[in-house]
Amino acid sequence: MTDERNEVRKVRRIDWKRKLTSRKFWVALAEFTAMLVIALRGPEETASRVTALIMAGAAVIAFIVGEGLVDAAGAGTDGREEEKIPF
């Protein structure tokens, strides 16, 4: 019985790192919000601004999560790597 519960928990677990860095997720969220504004009889200009704001926020969030993943991967090294300076 406990094995079945563990399997259900694994299925229900959401990979938030992957979701927050997904362009499809952010485009879907922005589109939903824009259509909601229009459906509630808001001006099209407001829908456009809200969409732009969501996409800008998505870019920032994706950058932060991505850099965090890179930093976490780099934390496993011993710090002896030489910094490569392109010329």
Backbone phi, psi, residue 16, to 5°? -65, -35
Structure tokens belonging to residue 68: 């965090």
**What confidence score (pLDDT) does residue 50 get?**
93
What percentage of the chain carries pLDDT values higher than 70? 74
Close Cβ partners of 49 (under 8 Å, ≥ 6 residues apart)? none
What pLDDT is recorded for position 45? 94
pTM: 0.60
Cα–Cα distance, 34 to 42 (Å, whole number): 9
Cα(24)–Cα(77) distance, integer angstroms = 33
| Residue pLDDT, tens place only, 47-71 | 999 999 999 999 998 889 888 888 8
Q: Centre a 10 Å sphere on the Cβ of residue 44 and count the other Cβ atoms it contains.
A: 10
